[in-house]
Amino acid sequence: MDTQSLEAFLQVAENASFSAAAEALHITQPAVSKRIAALEQQLGTSLFDRIGRQVSLTEAGHALLPHARAISGHLLQARQSIDDLSGQVAGRLRLGTSHHIGLHRLPPVLRRYSESYPEVALDIDFMDSEQAVDELTRCKVELAVVTLAPEPEPNIVYTPVWDDPLDFMATAEHPLSRGDELSLAALCDYPVILPGLSTFTGRIVRQLFEARDLKLDITLSTNYLETIRMMAAVGLGWTLLPRTMLQDPLVPLKVPGVAPQRQLGLLYHRNRRLSNAAEAFIRQLV
């Protein structure tokens, strides 16, 4: 069982596509098919069902998947260990982060890091915070800088870096902007635009209102905070966003006694040996 065939299997499984796997591996689609066929012949079973353009794992494929991911992760760590023997901070650092943090928090950190360690190739993937935890578990990224989960995963190390206060906001023309002080109940009388309630940020908002037995009138939701800000700015509803995003034409809504916030920070897998490049990045960040 060779590593090239296993990597082809992982790419097809994760992309549900032979053509996408070929693109990710920078080889031809027939080459991917050949590697999968060789692996299936070796194991004596089919790993994928191919129905038209649809590709899905068979029962055997599902059984192989966690082992293939583990082998791929161990090989990656082995290469890192060899590269790190020189003590140099070099190589590739795979980093996951959210669009919001990438725009509003990370630029000065990345600038300092790139100036200090020019031999490191930064590979930055933008993703939801929830996806970052999954990518760390699968060794797809080495570090993640994202919104910290309200309920941490046991195998992930969480390091808070920034407190991120959240503000209620709407346009100056919105009916809610006319009063000096508001209650959470008053907010429920008007449409709201929020991150998906399954996201870490959405769960913070949901818990805030559910704890008071209040039901929100959610008209729109998206995981992109910049899109939420734009929709609130054109008057489609009020919203709750990081204070760093409070800009004209949005104004803050005063809700006494309520100060929601989230924490942004660093994640890495507890059982993974970090590369020199990752250790250097942590020193720059925290």
> What separation in angstroms does the CA of 106 have from each of 46, 147, 163, 286?
45, 13, 14, 12
pLDDT tens-digit series, residues 156-207 = 999 999 999 999 999 999 999 987 789 999 999 999 999 887 788 888 888 8
Question: 237 and 253: one domain?
Answer: yes
pLDDT tens-digit series, residues 115-169 = 999 999 999 999 888 888 888 888 889 999 999 987 788 889 999 999 999 999 9
Domain that holds residue 194: 163-261
Tell me how far apart the alpha carbons of residues 64 and 104 are, in angstroms, rounded to a whole number: 40
Rg of the chain (C-alpha set)? 23
Question: 182 and 252: one domain?
Answer: yes
The chain-wide mean pLDDT, for the chain, equals 89
Question: 252 and 177: one domain?
Answer: yes
Peptide bond into 249 cis (omega under 30): yes
Q: Does residue 21 form part of some domain?
A: yes
Question: 274 and 143: one domain?
Answer: yes
pLDDT tens-digit series, residues 54-86 = 889 999 989 898 888 888 777 777 776 666 666
Q: Is 108 exposed, middle or buried (0-12, 13-18, 19+ CB in 10 A)?
A: exposed
Classify residue 142 by its DSSP letter. Answer: S
Question: 121 and 140: one domain?
Answer: yes
Q: Does residue 77 form part of some domain?
A: no
- Residue 83's pLDDT is 65
Question: 91 and 222: one domain?
Answer: no
Mean predicted confidence (pLDDT) in 264-279: 91
Tell me how far apart the alpha carbons of residues 194 and 209 are, in angstroms, rounded to a whole number: 13
Q: Does residue 72 form part of some domain?
A: no
- Residue 151's pLDDT is 79
What is the pTM assigned to this prediction? Answer: 0.72
pLDDT tens-digit series, residues 227-253 = 999 999 999 999 999 999 999 999 999
How many structural domains compose the chain?
Answer: 3
Q: Does residue 74 form part of some domain?
A: no
Question: 43 and 115: one domain?
Answer: no
Q: Does residue 249 form part of some domain?
A: yes
**Farthest-apart Cα atoms in the chain, separation:** 72
Query: Domain holding 152: CATH number?
Result: 3.40.190.10
Q: Does residue 125 form part of some domain?
A: yes
Question: 200 and 60: one domain?
Answer: no
- Residue 6's pLDDT is 86
